[in-house]
A and B are shown apart, each in its own frame.
Chain A
Amino acid sequence: KNEVEQSPQNLTAQEGEFITINCSYSVGISALHWLQQHPGGGIVSLFMLSSGKKKHGRLIATINIQEKHSSLHITASHPRDSAVYICAVRTGAQKLVFGQGTRLTINP
């Protein structure tokens, strides 16, 4: 079993829908990252969080340390949000362990 599991693996939605991507992990962590990867490979760091909730524009990330679970929400989704979203956790050994990613497609 992977230390970091994301769901769903693929998600297709219509423009304007509310999107939720989930990340569960099985190890102790010091922080959790949400990353966005567009076709062509470039990765952008969206959030780094160790507790609670963060918001940036239409994106919201939450983490529940006790349940070892994090969610990434996108409100009023837009075709430009289409990308692969990757959850990564920083373990006690200070290494980043990545989930397999969620491929999101937003249709106009």
Chain B
Amino acid sequence: KAGVTQTPRYLIKTRGQQVTLSCSPISGHRSVSWYQQTPGQGLQFLFEYFSETQRNKGNFPGRFSGRQFSNSRSEMNVSTLELGDSALYLCASSLASSQNEQFFGPGTRLTVL
């Protein structure tokens, strides 16, 4: 079974731009969660999607949004990028709920200049 894939793996943007990151879960997994990892704050929960619905959301501004498609693939979008958005963005998939074991993707490293 293929693992969780994320694209792109690396991205460089400038302040004020927007970015879209993609996550393809393991086949059969319906829950996708997104996390941000920075040296200062560590890992933080962004949101969780299940069956195309946002089921849970972390404490991030509205510039961070996401969606899930009928094939369980998920995208997250960050608008009006700030320098502080530079981070490793990880997605994780699980069978039916993030309460099940989560399988993490390799991450997308975003650099905002």
Contact = CB atoms under 8 A, between A and B. Distances in A.
Interface of A: 30-31, 33, 35, 40-45, 48, 86, 88, 90, 93-101
B61 to A, nearest CB: 17
Given A41-B88, A41-B109, A100-B42, A31 B104 contact: no
B23 to A, nearest CB: 14
Question: Which 10 residue pairs are nearest across A and B when measured between Cβ atoms?
Answer: A98-B43, A43-B104, A41-B107, A100-B42, A95-B45, A96-B45, A41-B88, A42-B106, A45-B101, A48-B101
B14 interface: no
A48 B101 CA distance: 7
B58 A95 contact: yes
B26 interface: no
Interface of B: 33, 35, 37, 42-45, 48, 55-56, 58, 88, 90, 92, 98-99, 101-104, 106-107, 109
Given A41-B109, A95-B45, 5 more contacts: A41-B90, A45-B102, A90-B98, A96-B35, A99-B42
Contacts of A48: 101
B106 to A, nearest CB: 5
Contacts of A93: 56
A90 B98 CA distance: 9
B98 A94 contact: yes
